[in-house]
Structure 1
Amino acid sequence: MRINTVVVVAVVVLVMFVGGTRGLSFCNLNDEGIEACKASVSEPNPVDPSKECCEALSGADLECLCSYKNSPQLPLFGIDPNLALSLPAKCNLTLPSNC
């Protein structure tokens, strides 16, 4: 049952990252913040995070976001987990020690 819940949550998160859901918040990162950061976590040509992305990340629950770092579905949606994990440092934010 727990695995099914995790899978459902992961799918909802992925849909949000690709822009399919509006008006929701994920780990205290709203859809505008997700959209602002999408170009920085997507291959083949990621860009440096924008001011808007960094502002969104500064209010996000980074520990919550870290819990998705090993999600096997992220690459299927064009999200590179390594790029995603590099965003906080590029925004002068510190990842939680358990990330």
Structure 2
Amino acid sequence: MEGCKKLVLVALVLALAIFSEPMVANAQTLCRMTKEGLKACEPSVNGPNPAPPSAACCSALSNADMQCLCLFKNSRLLNLYGIDPNLALALPSKCNLPQTRC
């Protein structure tokens, strides 16, 4: 269950970064994930046939501040941005990353 919360947060951050340019503009990061890193994970969290997470996505997740991402865990924006929370929750395990408690 804790891993699920972590992935929901990752998905939310992805959505916010992808659809909200000012949050990660000018080489800034969101929870230590760059816009490029967030975009790299986008194909893995939406659509009926999501792609496996890329090396770039996993690298971005490995550098992310997961406690920071936990702040987004209860947001309802995931569905608004087409992010499947179940897919997002699966990303860390698919990337062989440790679980984070939120």
TM-score, normalised by the number of residues in structure 2: 0.72
For the 8 Å contact 1:42–1:80, the answer to whether it is kept is: yes
Could you say which structure has the higher strand fraction?
1
| Higher RCO (CA-CA < 8 Å; seq separation 6+) | 2
Gaps (5+ residues) in structure 1? 1-12
* Cα distance, 1:40 vs structure 2: 0.5
Query: What amino acid maps onto 1:33 in structure 2?
Result: G
Q: Does 1:16 align with 2:35?
A: no
Q: Indicate the RMSD between aligned Cα atoms, in angstroms.
A: 1.8
Within the candidate set 38, 55, 76, 1:72 is matched to 76
- Number of equivalences: 86
Could you say which structure has the higher helix fraction?
2
TM-score, normalised by the number of residues in structure 1: 0.74
Q: Tell me how far apart the structure 1 counterparts of residues 41 and 20 of structure 2 sit (CA, whole Å).
A: 12
2:96 maps to 92
1:63-95 deviations in Å (ceiling 9; x for gaps): 222332321111111112221121111111012
- Percent of aligned pairs with the same residue? 50
Q: Flag the structure with larger Rg.
A: 1
For the 8 Å contact 1:63–1:95, the answer to whether it is kept is: no
> What's the secondary structure of 1:26's corresponding residue?
coil
